[in-house]
Amino acid sequence: MQHLSSCFCLVAVLVQRVLADAALVFDADDYNSGYYGANPNQTYYSSDIVSPLLQVNEWDKGRTDSDTIRVYQLLIPTPFSNAPYIFLALASPLGTESGPVILRADDLSLVYAEPKWPNAHNAHVGTLHGTDYLVFFEGVQRNGQWAGQCLIYDSSYELVHNITAKGINASVDIHECQMTTSGSVLITVYQPIIYDLTPVGGPPNGELVDNIAQEIDVETGELLWTWRASDHYDLADSYVKYKASPGGWDFFHMNSIDRSAEGNFLINSRHTHTVTYVDGSTGDIIWTLGGKKNDFRDISDGNALSFGWQHHARFHDDDLTQVTFFDNHNVSTTPDCTVNCSRGLHLQLDFEDMTVQVVNEYFHPHSLVTGFMGSYQSTPNGNTLVGWGPNPTFTEYTPDGECVLDVQFDAWAPPSGGRGNYRAFKMDWKGFPSWEPSIASTAAGSALNGSTGSNVFVSWNGATEVKSWQLLRGGTPESVVSLSMLVSRAGFETKLAVKAGSRYVRALALDAEGQVLGVTSIVDLRTNKAVPDPESVV
Ligand SMILES: *[C@@H]1O[C@H](CO)[C@@H](O)[C@H](O)[C@H]1NC(C)=O
Ligand SMILES: *[C@@H]1O[C@H](CO)[C@@H](O)[C@H](O)[C@H]1NC(C)=O
Ligand SMILES: *[C@@H]1O[C@H](CO)[C@@H](O)[C@H](O)[C@H]1NC(C)=O
Ligand SMILES: *[C@@H]1O[C@H](CO)[C@@H](O)[C@H](O)[C@H]1NC(C)=O
Ligand SMILES: *[C@@H]1O[C@H](CO)[C@@H](O)[C@H](O)[C@H]1NC(C)=O
Ligand SMILES: *[C@@H]1O[C@H](CO)[C@@H](O)[C@H](O)[C@H]1NC(C)=O
């Protein structure tokens, strides 16, 4: 929490705000026509990270969910917002910029990227005993199936739990890796089995991809619950025609699991077009929404039950009468659809009359069909954030359906294949990396003998609490102590202009109260190289 006094003094000594990040793009025509390259990106001086250059199609700042981290804007301290960060996990055609990605919601600048995980999906914040963790899936593709782990990192980005499938010779699948509010994690497992496929015209000993839902205790690794789709669904419930395929026929395609407070489960199946509520003790199906065994009557003229190929089904609230999901509605992916476009779908269920109706549907302003992936999140302030899978964008809507944020992280359909994103979230997060902040300089030699000085760039991958940077400089590494200007964070990377005269510099990363969070190494402005730390600093 902020204190009024520290806010005042910080505002008083701020010197300047210099941008180092590339500016956001506000020109959809240029962006989508390839003006910024095939996969628009930006690089940094102080980091090897390559991050997407963002195109802003819509941004009504004041109406998005708590997008301002208003520390400096007002002299009156403002509470931190509910959902000030955007969580993505980019699948990149180039593989060099993928991994979990966190952006600030108030300026869309990069906060964290970890490209060492090439196949990260579903990055989100989970809470265990009141402590927040960064959770995501990471794995590899084998025989058409994903095999990996559900990884749980603490606020210093150290791995604390590595969740694997239990009691089964198969790995965690890509589709779900979700912390619950009761100390467990939900995972999907795709397991090839030999199965009688004669009901769908296959062989009696055919290959089937069975789908298993597992709930696992995060701390003990104990298997708490398991449910197998083939025990409860008929093969003929699938909308995907049987075809012998390497790794088996994927009849069900489970892609999300949610847990209710009483310990039952909401299971989403893309290939049967069903959202199923399952009894946590017996495994029996309590009700089925959609598909061939639907239990509900559509009182929205067919608009509620017309969904299909859907993703990311969640209960909207604790009384379990509303569900939300991303209705792909189609298996192809294109912008500019005219019919059967994809949508974020919010449905109301009535268990007395067994009816379903549309509460809200959110189409993309650019009319998109998303054939796979996609997400729907109800943000803390009641807005809705929709992720569009292989269509490289995320979109936020107010409850009355107005789009107040639409940001692209790639052109619509770049020839080399675009960046996709499985799910998008807006959440709160505090990151205190275990590594130190980075520093780099340009214009070698000029600080000593030129008149233009040097540019020093600082960044700290993953740090959320840095509000300003302070440069220390000196003629020798030992004398890099004199306090210099204070510059407020100006994006992922902040540029500090150094006048000619000092050969050695380093920077301190400060929080909102002026406390030092981290110290960079010392850089020699003559060589632009780091020099050993004389250990006499600060
Ligand atoms: C970044 O953009 C450049 C210029 O268009 C392109 O050549 C390069 O492949 C892109 N890199 C990544 C990692 O997307
Ligand atoms: C998680 O555990 C699996 C199985 O033991 C292992 O293969 C994998 O490398 C681990 N992941 C990390 C990030 O440590
Ligand atoms: C586990 O599955 C793999 C392939 O999926 C197979 O090669 C291996 O033999 C299995 N192990 C056991 C113990 O069944
Ligand atoms: C739209 O989807 C419905 C199913 O919801 C389907 O019956 C119809 O043929 C589709 N229309 C087009 C033009 O594809
Ligand atoms: C899927 O979308 C494409 C492109 O908009 C459209 O031509 C096709 O009819 C749609 N198919 C269905 C089944 O809705
Ligand atoms: C500036 O200093 C560097 C490093 O000592 C030297 O290499 C360079 O020649 C000097 N440039 C000028 C213009 O004096």
Closest-CA residue, ligand 2 atom 11, reads 162
Q: What phi and psi, each to the nearest 5 degrees, are found at residue 221?
A: 75, 5
Task: List Cβ neighbours of 380 (8 Å cut-off, separation of 6 or more).
Answer: 65, 66, 82, 83, 426
With CA atoms as reference, report the closest residue to 412 among 79, 3, 39: 39
Closest-CA residue, ligand 4 atom 4, reads 306
Match 């000030």 to its residue by tokens: 84
User: Any residues with Cβ below 6 Å from ligand 4, and which?
Assistant: 306, 339-340
AA letter at 221:
G
Q: How far is the CA of 370 from the centre of ligand 6 (A)?
A: 57
What are the tokens at 276? Answer: 């199923």
With CA atoms as reference, report the closest residue to 381 among 84, 123, 1, 77: 84
For residue 50 and ligand 1, the question of a CB distance below 6 A is answered with yes
Q: Which atom of ligand 6 is nearest to the CA of 446?
A: 1
Q: What is the four-CA torsion angle of 499, 520, 531, 453, rounded to 10 degrees?
A: -10
Task: List Cβ neighbours of 220 (8 Å cut-off, separation of 6 or more).
Answer: none
**Ligand 5 mutation pick, 307, 310, 327, 330, max ligand atoms within 8 A of CB:** 330
Q: How far is the CA of 50 from the centre of ligand 1 (A)?
A: 9
* Distance (Å, whole) CA 135 – CA 121: 9
Helix or strand holding residue 446 (H, E): helix 446-449
Closest-CA residue, ligand 1 atom 8, reads 39
Q: Do residues 152 and 133 touch, judged by C-beta distance below 8 A?
A: yes
What are the tokens at 447? Answer: 């600080």
Facing residues of 522 across strands? 531
With CA atoms as reference, report the closest residue to 141 among 112, 114, 107, 118: 118
Q: Residue 333: its pLDDT value, please? A: 86
For residue 448 and ligand 6, the question of a CB distance below 6 A is answered with yes
The per-residue DSSP string of 47-109 comes to ----EEPPEEEEE-GGGSTT----TTT-SS--PPPS--EEEEEEE-SSSSS-EEEEEETTT--
Q: How far is the CA of 40 from the centre of ligand 1 (A)?
A: 6
Q: pLDDT tens for the chain, 538 residues: list them.
A: 333 333 332 332 333 344 579 999 999 999 999 999 888 999 999 999 999 999 999 999 888 986 544 444 444 444 445 779 999 998 765 555 578 999 999 999 999 998 888 889 999 999 999 999 999 999 988 877 889 999 999 999 999 999 999 999 999 999 999 999 999 999 999 999 999 999 999 999 999 999 999 999 999 999 999 999 999 999 999 999 999 988 899 999 999 999 999 999 999 999 999 999 999 999 999 999 999 999 999 999 999 999 999 999 999 988 999 999 999 999 988 878 888 999 999 999 999 999 999 999 999 999 999 999 999 999 988 899 999 999 999 999 999 999 999 999 999 876 666 788 999 999 999 999 999 999 999 864 444 454 567 889 999 999 999 999 999 988 888 888 766 678 999 999 999 888 767 889 999 999 999 999 999 999 998 888 899 888 754 4
**Ligand 4 mutation pick, 310, 327, 339, 340, max ligand atoms within 8 A of CB:** 340
Q: Residue 9: its pLDDT value, please? A: 29
Task: List Cβ neighbours of 71 (8 Å cut-off, separation of 6 or more).
Answer: 2, 7, 77, 78, 467, 512
Q: Is the pTM of this model over 0.95?
A: no
* Distance (Å, whole) CA 407 – CA 142: 33
| Three-state secondary-structure class, residue 9 | helix
* Distance (Å, whole) CA 128 – CA 447: 50
Q: Write the CA distances from 295 to 7, 309, 354, 450, integer angstroms.
A: 57, 18, 7, 78
> What is the residue extent of each domain of the chain?
119-294, 433-531
**Considering just the CA atoms, what is the radius of gyration of the chain in Å?**
25
What are the tokens at 457? Answer: 């760039």
Q: Residue 415: its pLDDT value, please? A: 63
* Max CA distance (Å), the chain: 83
Ligand nearest to the CA of 170: 3
Q: Residue 93: its pLDDT value, please? A: 57
User: Any residues with Cβ below 6 Å from ligand 5, and which?
Assistant: 330, 332, 334, 337, 340, 369
Q: How far is the CA of 162 from the centre of ligand 2 (A)?
A: 6
With CA atoms as reference, report the closest residue to 313 among 283, 290, 280, 340: 290
The domain 433-531 having CATH identifier 2.60.40.10: the answer here is: yes
Q: How far is the CA of 189 from the centre of ligand 3 (A)?
A: 14
Q: How far is the CA of 447 from the centre of ligand 6 (A)?
A: 10
Q: What phi and psi, each to the nearest 5 degrees, are found at residue 477?
A: -55, -30
Q: How far is the CA of 444 from the centre of ligand 6 (A)?
A: 9
For residue 149 and ligand 2, the question of a CB distance below 6 A is answered with yes
The per-residue DSSP string of 197-223 comes to -GGGT--TTEEEEEEEEEEEETTT--E
Residue 17, classified by CB atoms within 10 Å of its CB into exposed (0-12), middle (13-18) or buried (19+), is middle
What are the tokens at 120? Answer: 């990260």
Q: Residue 523: its pLDDT value, please? A: 93
Q: Residue 393: its pLDDT value, please? A: 96
Q: Do residues 311 and 328 touch, judged by C-beta distance below 8 A?
A: yes
Q: Do residues 522 and 437 touch, judged by C-beta distance below 8 A?
A: no
Facing residues of 394 across strands? 387, 407
With CA atoms as reference, report the closest residue to 235 among 265, 209, 268: 209
Helix or strand holding residue 465 (H, E): none
Q: Which atom of ligand 5 is nearest to the CA of 329?
A: 14
With CA atoms as reference, report the closest residue to 275 among 322, 241, 243: 322
Q: How far is CA 500 from the centre of its chain?
A: 42
* Distance (Å, whole) CA 338 – CA 330: 12
* Distance (Å, whole) CA 375 – CA 510: 36
Ligand nearest to the CA of 92: 1
Q: Which atom of ligand 4 is nearest to the CA of 306?
A: 5
For residue 151 and ligand 2, the question of a CB distance below 6 A is answered with yes
With CA atoms as reference, report the closest residue to 296 among 357, 235, 238, 239: 357
